[in-house]
Amino acid sequence: MEFDETKIKMSVTRRGFLTTMGVGAAVAVTGRYASGASSDETVMLPEEMAKIRLHVNGRVHRLLVEPRWTLLFVLREKLGLTGTKVGCERGECGACTVLMDNIPRYACMTLAVEAQGFEITTLEGLMKGEDLGRVQEAFLEHDAFQCGYCTPGQIMAAEGLLKDDPEPSPDAIRRGMSGNLCRCGAYTHIFEAVDEAGKRKRGKS
């Protein structure tokens, strides 16, 4: 059974998305077709495979997935895009942050079947060959990491912030990055890196 490939836009904040995903994921996996279903509809079991198309980093990937698989799992295990990190896997740390239509989203809280129709960007998609993107360069030069595990998610959150607000204030940077945790505590350098990346994107540095 194929899922509908119609593009579904969701105008929600990251935190608003998190508050609804628990219910949304459960419905999509266990009761989407059963609740109120007519007699000619088929119930899809979690272990059944579905054909999907994902647009990732400018390429289209056609995959067979289980409806319970997260976007995080598919990116890492099926597409080999390991820049997206496995962290808490419950929408708290932000290590798995990717962009969906330029909006930061937690890949661990997004089902792969829900990601159809969106333009997905991972850390790998920010590079041009071996050249780093402006945000990546700023993180490197401002030493905005220690262990580095959270860094891919921090960079993707910063990219999303700067696409939405090209000239964020210090408060806007703190708010925009608040969904990503750095257990090493490198927040001061992270905020400086985001500010510098914004200046470079605006051609002021």
Render pLDDT for 149-203 as a digit per residue (tens, 0 to 9). Answer: 999 999 999 999 999 999 999 999 999 999 999 999 999 999 999 999 999 988 8
pLDDT value at position 40?
54
Domain that holds residue 24: 14-125
pLDDT value at position 203?
84
Measured distance CA(49)–CA(150) in Å, rounded: 32
Nearest to 137, CA basis, from 179, 194, 180: 194
Any domain includes 2 = no
Task: Tell me how far CA of residue 192 lies from CA of 106, 178, 186, 197, in angstroms.
Answer: 23, 14, 10, 9
Instruction: Looking at the structure, tell me whether residues 182 and 135 fall in a common domain.
Output: yes
Any domain includes 73 = yes
Query: What count of other Cβ atoms lies within 10 Å of the Cβ of residue 106?
Result: 28
Any domain includes 1 = no
Count the domains in the chain. 2
For the full predicted model, state whether its pTM sits above 0.75.
yes
